[in-house]
C-alpha cells in the first residue's frame, strides 16, 4: 500500500473512512471529532467497512461483552484487509485501546495503530508514521486539554441535535467501574471553549445540545472571571445563545447535584425536564460496597427536591444487578427503590467483573443464573414504568423538535421534552423546528401524535 505523506488539499476527498462506535455518547462525540480531524487529510466518511481505506473501531471497555465484541470485529476486518486490493489501515480507539493497547496488538496483528481517548487529535501524525512502520500505540496520558486545544474548530454537523463534551474523566472510583482508568481524572473545558463550539453548532442549525461528561454535574470549567463555573452557570450562558432552544446533559452523579442546578431546572426553560441520574442499587449495603458514597435516602431526598422545583421531571437511571455479595434482600431494596422513584426509562445491566477494579476480586460473586433472573425481574418492572409513562402522555400537547424523516411517506420523527421519540405524519417539512404536537398514543418506545394545527383546522 502506498500512503502519501503529503496531505491532499483541505476538503479534497480522496480516501474513505469508516468509524464504528461502541459504548456511550462520549464515544459518539469522539467519533465525530475523529472524522473532523481526518477530513483535512482527504478522508470522507463511508457507511461500510468493505470500501474503506481507513477503519477505526471506537471501543468501550465498560463490560466484558463490550470489550470482546472488538476482537470479533477485528477478526472480520482482518479478512477484509487481506482481500482488499490496496489494503486497509485499521485503528483501535477508545476505552479498550486505553485499557488493553498492547494486548490488542498481540492478539490481532492486522491492527496498525492503537489510540486512546485523549490522543486521537494525533491521528494524522500517527497515520503518516504508520505508513512506514506498524505498531504505534499512543494515549497513556490523560491530558484532555491538549486534545481539545488541538482539535479543529470546525465540526461537521449533521442534523438539529448535537453532543458537546464539556467534562471528561472520573474521580469517583466506584468499585465496579473502569472509567476512572480509561478516561482519567475529572477535567472540565473552559466555559469560553464550550460557548464557542455551541455558537458554531447553532449557526449550523443545531437547536438542541446535550452536554456530555462522565460526571457532567461535577463540571467546574474556567469561567469568564477566571474562577470555576458550575454546570448551572454554563447552562445559563448556553441558553443565551440564539438558536439553542434545548439543553440536556448526561451523566449526573447524585453527590454532585447542587441546589443551584435544581434551581436552574426551575428557572431555565431551555433545560429539558428529563434527567439521567444513575443510582446503581437500592440497597445501602451494596451502595457502600460499590463506593457510591451515598445511601438510598439521600437519593430519595434529592429526587424530592428536584421534583419540587420541576414537578414534571422525567427520571432515568442505570442499575447493576448481581454485584458481589448482593442478596435477595438487597435486590428487593432495588426493586423497592424503583417502585418509589417511578422511572420514565432506565438501563439495567448484569454486573460484569472488570480486570483491575476492586469489585472483581471481592468474595461472593453472584452466580450468573441468579443475576439473570434478577435482571429480568428488574427489566420487567422498568418496562412497565416506561410504558405507563409513555401512555400517560396521550391527550397532552407537547413541543416536539423534529429531527428526521420517518419511514412512511411524509412522516417525521422528533423528540418530546422528555426525550421520547415522537412520530408524526405529514410533518417532514417541519424538520428543524419545535412544533406543538397532540399526542395520540404512547407505546413502549415511542409516541404517536399529530400536528396541532390540523386539529384546530378540523374543528
Residue 18 binds: one of ligand SF4, ligand SAH, ligand F3S, none (C-beta under 5 to 8 A by kind): none
Q: Of 230, 283, 334, 352, which lies in the binding site for ligand SAH, with binding defined by CB under 6 A? A: 352
- Tell me the per-residue interface mask from 343 to 362 with ligand F3S, x by CB under 6 A, - otherwise: --------------------
| Closer Cβ to ligand F3S, 60 or 104, answer by number | 60
For 218, 322, 325, 332, 359, the CA distances from 363, given in Å and listed in that order, are 32, 12, 7, 21, 9
Kindly identify the residues of this chain, within the stretch 208-227, that bind ligand SF4 according to CB under 6 A.
Answer: 214-215
- Tell me the per-residue interface mask from 275 to 314 with ligand SAH, x by CB under 6 A, - otherwise: ---x-x----------------------------------
Residue 61 near ligand F3S by CB under 6 A:
yes
Residue 436 CA to residue 458 CA, distance in Å, equals 16
Residue 351 binds: one of ligand F3S, ligand SF4, ligand SAH, none (C-beta under 5 to 8 A by kind): ligand SAH
Residue 366 near ligand SAH by CB under 6 A:
no
Smallest gap from residue 94 Cβ to ligand F3S (A):
6
Smallest gap from residue 215 Cβ to ligand SAH (A):
6
Q: Of 177, 202, 306, 401, which lies in the binding site for ligand SAH, with binding defined by CB under 6 A? A: 177
Residue 172 near ligand SF4 by CB under 6 A:
yes
Cell (9 digits) for 322? 448481581
- Span of 121-129, 176-184, 322-330, 338-346 interacting with ligand F3S by CB under 6 A: 176-184
For 7, 15, 40, 334, the CA distances from 12, given in Å and listed in that order, are 10, 9, 8, 55
Q: Of 320, 338, 346, 371, which lies in the binding site for ligand SAH, with binding defined by CB under 6 A? A: 320
Cell (9 digits) for 315? 427520571
Smallest gap from residue 212 Cβ to ligand SAH (A):
10
Residue 354 binds: one of ligand F3S, ligand SF4, ligand SAH, none (C-beta under 5 to 8 A by kind): ligand SAH
Residue 173 near ligand SF4 by CB under 6 A:
yes
- Span of 50-58, 109-117, 203-211, 345-353 interacting with ligand SAH by CB under 6 A: 345-353
Smallest gap from residue 73 Cβ to ligand SAH (A):
21
Residue 180 near ligand SF4 by CB under 6 A:
yes
Residue 173 binds: one of ligand SF4, ligand SAH, ligand F3S, none (C-beta under 5 to 8 A by kind): ligand SF4
- Span of 54-62, 119-127, 221-229, 407-415 interacting with ligand F3S by CB under 6 A: 54-62
Q: Of 92, 170, 191, 201, which lies in the binding site for ligand SF4, with binding defined by CB under 6 A? A: 170
Residue 26 near ligand F3S by CB under 6 A:
yes
User: Applying CB under 6 A, which residues contact ligand F3S?
Assistant: 23-24, 26-27, 60-62, 94-95, 178-179, 182-183
- What is the binding site for ligand SF4 (CB under 6 A)? 170, 172-174, 177, 179-180, 214-215, 253
Amino acid at each position: 500500500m502506498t500512503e502519501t505523506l503529503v496531505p491532499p488539499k483541505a476538503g479534497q476527498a480522496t480516501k474513505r473512512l469508516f468509524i464504528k462506535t461502541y459504548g456511550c455518547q462520549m464515544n459518539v462525540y469522539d467519533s465525530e471529532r475523529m472524522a473532523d480531524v481526518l477530513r483535512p487529510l482527504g478522508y470522507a466518511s463511508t457507511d461500510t467497512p468493505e470500501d474503506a481505506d481507513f477503519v477505526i473501531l471506537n471501543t468501550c471497555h465498560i463490560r466484558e461483552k463490550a470489550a470482546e465484541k472488538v476482537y470479533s470485529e477485528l477478526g472480520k476486518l482482518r479478512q477484509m484487509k487481506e482481500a482488499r486490493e490496496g489494503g486497509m489501515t485499521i485503528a483501535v480507539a477508545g476505552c479498550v485501546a486505553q485499557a488493553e493497547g498492547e494486548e490488542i496488538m498481540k492478539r490481532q496483528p492486522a491492527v496498525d495503530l492503537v489510540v486512546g481517548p485523549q490522543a486521537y487529535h494525533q491521528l494524522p501524525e500517527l497515520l503518516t508514521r504508520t505508513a512506514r512502520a506498524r505498531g504505534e500505540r499512543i494515549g497513556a496520558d490523560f491530558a484532555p486539554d491538549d486534545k481539545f486545544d488541538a482539535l479543529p474548530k470546525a465540526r461537521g454537523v449533521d442534523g438539529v441535535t448535537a453532543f458537546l463534551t464539556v467534562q471528561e474523566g472520573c474521580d469517583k472510583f466506584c468499585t465496579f467501574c473502569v472509567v476512572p482508568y480509561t478516561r482519567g481524572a475529572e477535567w472540565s473545558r473552559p466555559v469560553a471553549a464550550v460557548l464557542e463550539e455551541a455558537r458554531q453548532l447553532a449557526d449550523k442549525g443545531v437547536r438542541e445540545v446535550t452536554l456530555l461528561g462522565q460526571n457532567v454535574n461535577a463540571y467546574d470549567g474556567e469561567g469568564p472571571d477566571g474562577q470555576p463555573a458550575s454546570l448551572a452557570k454554563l447552562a445559563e450562558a448556553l441558553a443565551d445563545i440564539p438558536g439553542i432552544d434545548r439543553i440536556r446533559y448526561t451523566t449526573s452523579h447524585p453527590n454532585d447535584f447542587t441546589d443551584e442546578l435544581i434551581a436552574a431546572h426551575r428557572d431555565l426553560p431551555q433545560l429539558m425536564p428529563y434527567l439521567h441520574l444513575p443510582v446503581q442499587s437500592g440497597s445501602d449495603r451494596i451502595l457502600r460496597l460499590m463506593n457510591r458514597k451515598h445511601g438510598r435516602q439521600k437519593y430519595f431526598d434529592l429526587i424530592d427536591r428536584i421534583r419540587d422545583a420541576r414537578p414534571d421531571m422525567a427520571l432515568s437511571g442505570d442499575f447493576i444487578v448481581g454485584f458481589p455479595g448482593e442478596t435477595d434482600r438487597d435486590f428487593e431494596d432495588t426493586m423497592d427503590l424503583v417502585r418509589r422513584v417511578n422511572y420514565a426509562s432506565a438501563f439495567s445491566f448484569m454486573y460484569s467483573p472488570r480486570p483491575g477494579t476492586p469489585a472483581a476480586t471481592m468474595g461472593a460473586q453472584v452466580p450468573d443464573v441468579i443475576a439473570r433472573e434478577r435482571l429480568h425481574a428488574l427489566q420487567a418492572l422498568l418496562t412497565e414504568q416506561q410504558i405507563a409513562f409513555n401512555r400517560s402522555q396521550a391527550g397532552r400537547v407537547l413541543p416536539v423538535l423534529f429531527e428526521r424523516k420517518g419511514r412512511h411517506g411524509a412522516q417525521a420523527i422528533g423528540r418530546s421534552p422528555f426525550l421520547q421519540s415522537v412520530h408524526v405524519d405529514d410533518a417532514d417539512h417541519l424538520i428543524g423546528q419545535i412544533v406543538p404536537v397532540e399526542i395520540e398514543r404512547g407505546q413502549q418506545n415511542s409516541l404517536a401524535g399529530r400536528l396541532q394545527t390540523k386539529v384546530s383546522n378540523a374543528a
